[in-house]
Copies of this chain bind each other. A is one copy, B any other.
Amino acid sequence: MQELALRVGGAAGDGIATVGETFCRLLTRQGFYAFGHTGYQSVIRGGHVWFQARGSPERIWSQGDGCDVLYALDRQTVEVHAPTLRPGGVLVFDPEKFSVLPDQVPPKVKILPVPTLQLARKFASEPILQNGVGMGVVSALAGQPLSVLHGILTESLGRKGAVLAQNLSASEAGFRYAKEHFGALDRALPEKGGSPKLLMSGNQAIALGAVAAGLKFLSQYPMTPATSIMHWLAAHAESFHVVVKQAEDELAAINMAIGASHAGVRAMTATSGGGFALMVEAFGMAAMTETPLVVVESQRSGPSTGLPTKTEQGDLQMILGASQGEFPRVVLGPGSVAEAYRETARAFQLAEDWQTPVVVASDLYLSEDVQGLDREDLPTLPTPASLFTVPEPPEGGNGYLRYRDTPSGVSPRAIPGQRGLMFDAGSDEHDESGRLVSDVLSGIPAYVEVRRKMMDKRMRKLSGIRSATNPPTLEGSDPAEITLVGWGSTAMPVRDALALLKGQGVAANYLHVAQPWPLHGEAIVQVLRSAKRTLLIEQNFSGQLGRVITAETGLRFPDTLLKYDGEPFYPWEIVTKVMEVTGRVHR
């Protein structure tokens, strides 16, 4: 597969993300699929920061393994990242800042010293302009025309006249310097891929999916890596007519969303594990009051504050256990940026159809990294219907049962403001009308029975949801020597690994459990029973999805690939493990 990966690294404040994102944009503009992965610290300035931008004419799903161009803004970048340079690659740095010895790069890797600061100084005194030079260099090495970079710079710096001119000149100087002193890389991409691609992060896809599905109310409290959902929606609140409310904390955020949903609008809150921990009590209230609710939980490395800028899939067990007692919930684990869009939209539909809380479990890797997409990956959704579904009874009608015990467990829902349908939504146990059981009726035999029936009614939704949703399907070779099993963002490096394995002559496939709950246990058993061999792959310590599958089906996973160091899987790690498990020696 043809592909090119640029890595840029330096200190926070060096403008690393800008260089990386600009290059990603350049790739998608030129019609390549792209993936942009960012590594940063939990401080605002200082600390080592990097960005990997990968492009290919074919679909790619992850940051890949290694890089072809390493643009190092400081010495630490060389130390940390030079080992990831692939044969034929090149290290770009400014000799004015530090020097690089030939043995600091792997074999068959070139060193290209570029006087970025010196070239930049011609146009302005700020050292940040060196990145203009750097971007020119990278464009040239990638085999891309300077005009595309100039177009992007013009858009992003358009309003800052002088700065734009300086950047255009600097990048041109860099471009020329690279052409003169190096030329293009062997791996350079063609001048043009397919049609231009969209470049989007998982969080942007979640926000878009939510609005497409009718979101009218977001209440959120900032927490990495969920924060940018609020940022994006806040910036678009007026044009999309969405109330975006930054709450005083996560307890307020979820309770506000429940209030808004109760009032009749599609509502969402978003957070990471620590914030979700604070939502646990209200999460159960949404189920008890049968109020639709969508919660985005974008996981990061725990436990506790953990590593706020690192990824993990460590919160599934928390989400599944969230809140006292037992009630129906849905957990979705999208496995790509496009899935993030589609599953978020599905979350709203499920929440509303089944009047219960739905969690979209993302993680830092999916939420913050950017991927190139085709427009068709994000289908347009029908305009959401109005919620005023219960006909208003004649004045004074008293027969309305908000919590009517129905075969599906779902009851007709009224919205405050509707005439004659007044009811109480209560977090205490209640009867079909909403009247409390707890106050003066608990323990009375007839009401012991009511309690049991109401539990049955609510829990019944679970099997309904299971039947109404699709079981997971296999991706990749069929038949296969080995079936990988995972959920959420792990699908991304797995998909790239499947391609690599194919190249290695290994037939492997992947069971992507995009809906960890309610689990399609029987369907999963069917697939896995007929699999030659399985490999559970999760970004956590204890194989949490695996535990859910075992608890539901009794089926166990003798082989696992579990990672909990904060870094995403690299496709080659997966390949290596598969080679080991299938009894091959990895070559």
Question: How long is the Cα–Cα vector from A81 to B549 in the complex, in angstroms?
Answer: 45
Which A residues are within 8 Å of any B CB, using their own CB? 39-43, 46-48, 50, 80, 251, 272-274, 276-278, 280-281, 284-285, 287-289, 299, 301-310, 312, 314-315, 317-327, 426-429, 437-445, 448-449, 451-452, 455, 458-459, 540-542, 547-548, 550-551, 554-556, 564-567
- B residues within 8 A CB of A441? 41, 47
- How near does chain B come to A73, taking the closest CB pair, in angstroms? 16
Known contacts A443-B48, A556-B554: A307-B429 contact under CB 8 Å:
yes
Known contacts A304-B325, A305-B428, A314-B326: A444-B551 contact under CB 8 Å:
no
- B residues within 8 A CB of A319? 321
List 9 extra interface pairs beyond A277-B323, A307-B442, CB under 8 A.
Answer: A42-B428, A80-B444, A277-B322, A288-B305, A303-B323, A305-B427, A306-B438, A317-B326, A326-B541
- B residues within 8 A CB of A308? 428, 438
Known contacts A42-B442, A47-B439, A306-B438: A455-B564 contact under CB 8 Å:
yes
Residue of B whose beta carbon sits closest to that of A437: B307
- B residues within 8 A CB of A307? 428-429, 437-438, 442, 451
On whether the beta carbons of A318 and B310 are closer than 8 Å, the reply is no
Question: How long is the Cα–Cα vector from A299 to B280 in the complex, in angstroms?
Answer: 16
On whether the beta carbons of B48 and A440 are closer than 8 Å, the reply is yes
On whether the beta carbons of B323 and A320 are closer than 8 Å, the reply is no
Question: How long is the Cα–Cα vector from A326 to B538 in the complex, in angstroms?
Answer: 13
On whether the beta carbons of A302 and B314 are closer than 8 Å, the reply is no
Question: How long is the Cα–Cα vector from A555 to B320 in the complex, in angstroms?
Answer: 21
- B residues within 8 A CB of A327? 302-303
On whether the beta carbons of A325 and B306 are closer than 8 Å, the reply is yes
Q: Which 5 A-B pairs have the closest CB atoms?
A: A302-B325, A321-B321, A273-B324, A303-B325, A47-B440
Question: How long is the Cα–Cα vector from A284 to B565 in the complex, in angstroms?
Answer: 18
Question: How long is the Cα–Cα vector from A449 to B458 in the complex, in angstroms?
Answer: 46
- B residues within 8 A CB of A555? 554
- How near does chain B come to A582, taking the closest CB pair, in angstroms? 23
- B residues within 8 A CB of A320? 317, 321
Question: How long is the Cα–Cα vector from A43 to B439 in the complex, in angstroms?
Answer: 6
Question: How long is the Cα–Cα vector from A348 to B264 in the complex, in angstroms?
Answer: 48
Question: How long is the Cα–Cα vector from A276 to B323 in the complex, in angstroms?
Answer: 9
- B residues within 8 A CB of A452? 564-565
- How near does chain B come to A304, taking the closest CB pair, in angstroms? 4
On whether the beta carbons of B304 and A427 are closer than 8 Å, the reply is yes
Partner pick for A306 among B288, B444, B564, CB 8 A cutoff: B288
Question: How long is the Cα–Cα vector from A323 to B441 in the complex, in angstroms?
Answer: 35
On whether the beta carbons of A310 and B443 are closer than 8 Å, the reply is yes
- How near does chain B come to A102, taking the closest CB pair, in angstroms? 21
On whether the beta carbons of A324 and B299 are closer than 8 Å, the reply is yes
- B residues within 8 A CB of A542? 326, 459
Partner pick for A302 among B40, B47, B50, B326, CB 8 A cutoff: B326
Residue of B whose beta carbon sits closest to that of A299: B324
Residue of B whose beta carbon sits closest to that of A320: B321
Question: How long is the Cα–Cα vector from A25 to B14 in the complex, in angstroms?
Answer: 76
- B residues within 8 A CB of A541? 326, 455, 459
- B residues within 8 A CB of A439? 41-43, 47
Partner pick for A443 among B39, B321, B449, CB 8 A cutoff: B39
- B residues within 8 A CB of A443? 39-41, 48, 50, 309-310, 566-567
